[in-house]
Amino acid sequence: MIGRVRSSFTRVIGHEGAKSALRNALAAGRLAGALLVCGPEGAGRRTLVREVAKALNCRGGADAPLPCGACGPCGRIERGTAGDYVRVEPDGQSIGIAQVQGLLEEMALAPVEGGTRVFVVAPAGALTEEAQNALLKGLEEPPGRSVVVLVATREDELLPTVASRCRVVRLSELSTDEVVAVLAREGIDPAEAAERARWCAGSPGRALSDEALALARLASDAVEALASGAAYADPLGTVDRLAPQVGITKGEGGVDAQVKRARLGALLRAIGRTLRDALVHREGAARRRLSGASPELLARLAHAPAGRLEDAIDHLVRLEEELEQSVNPALVLEGMVLDVGASLASARAERTMTTVSGGRRGG
């Protein structure tokens, strides 16, 4: 078992900290009865949980990785037909008390295949307060050989009484290279994988979605307009070019309001990541990049004098808040082009003057 644990979770790309914590717990035979797996949407939370369930039930040989992925229980969990892998999902908008009571009754039963029963509640943020309170008993004393896994974006989506009874496993965003590796495993060709991953906020799930390629083109276009000063020189032209890509059209029609908000939110976060990467680039810190920007683009942005990138990031944070507070997406997009464009463009203007005066001194 120990040898197998060492080569466990080979299917899960990235998330080394989380995998190592789970490996240690498995090796010691003391995986908590209640886990709370937190991380951004699309980061691979459900994949990791499925692999944990397989590891707890795998019947692979002594030399097989854990889980082996080939035995009966591994196959049934992968296909979603295993009696000991139970998923609880929202019935409509939320997960109510009746569903939790059903879960508690189910938990009292013995494992179907004699392994460990795994109950996955996702998204756990959908649990009503009443349902969370009902779940407490199950988390405190899960009956022998059962594990409850709550999947959430953040711990604070749950009542403190619930979160504190779980062993928390945190997943962070994947680097662009790790997202490309996940996509390649899904059979996507390398060039398309790279384009899909480029602006997908460290999220293989999002990179695999239908929106990924459209977002990649939109984000590339927007970041280039900001970095080149085009957004500052011609804000209206820039807005007119970006708006249809977000789904904002003049007059009636266009895409659903929620889709517009989601696209615009993804765009603001992609730009924010790029600017944060530019800050890291300037400081020469060895941190993995989170945006899809090329080193050449980051170097251009990193030339901004002190404070300008930070100003632009502040604008983006404010615009994201406005978007969440239901400000009209068209106004948020205009604000992005005008405010972020101005922050970065005044940086360019100052840089030009410095270069000119430096040149004069030199000449």
Shortest distance, CB of residue 114 to Zn ion, whole angstroms?
14
Q: Is 309 in the site for Zn ion (CB under 5 A)?
A: no
Decide whether 68 or 218 has the Cβ nearer to Zn ion: 68
Shortest distance, CB of residue 54 to Zn ion, whole angstroms?
6
Question: Angle at CA 24, nearest 5°, toward 21 and 26?
Answer: 110
Q: Is 75 in the site for Zn ion (CB under 5 A)?
A: no
Among the listed ranges 36-44, 74-82, 132-140, 275-283, the one in contact with Zn ion (CB under 5 A) is 74-82
Q: Is 67 in the site for Zn ion (CB under 5 A)?
A: yes
Binding mask 250-279 for Zn ion (x = CB under 5 A): ------------------------------
**Are 197 and 42 in contact, with CB atoms under 8 Å apart?**
no
Which of 32, 35, 53, 68 is close enough to bind Zn ion by CB under 5 A?
68
Decide whether 8 or 238 has the Cβ nearer to Zn ion: 8
Q: Is 26 in the site for Zn ion (CB under 5 A)?
A: no
Cα separation of 135 and 230, whole Å? 54
Q: Is 115 in the site for Zn ion (CB under 5 A)?
A: no
Q: Is 60 in the site for Zn ion (CB under 5 A)?
A: yes
Among the listed ranges 50-58, 99-107, 204-212, 302-310, the one in contact with Zn ion (CB under 5 A) is 50-58
Q: Is 292 in the site for Zn ion (CB under 5 A)?
A: no
Shortest distance, CB of residue 7 to Zn ion, whole angstroms?
13
Q: Is 55 in the site for Zn ion (CB under 5 A)?
A: no
Which of 35, 74, 212, 290 is close enough to bind Zn ion by CB under 5 A?
74
Which of 58, 95, 120, 266 is close enough to bind Zn ion by CB under 5 A?
58
Residues that bind Zn ion (CB under 5 A): 58, 60, 67-68, 71, 74
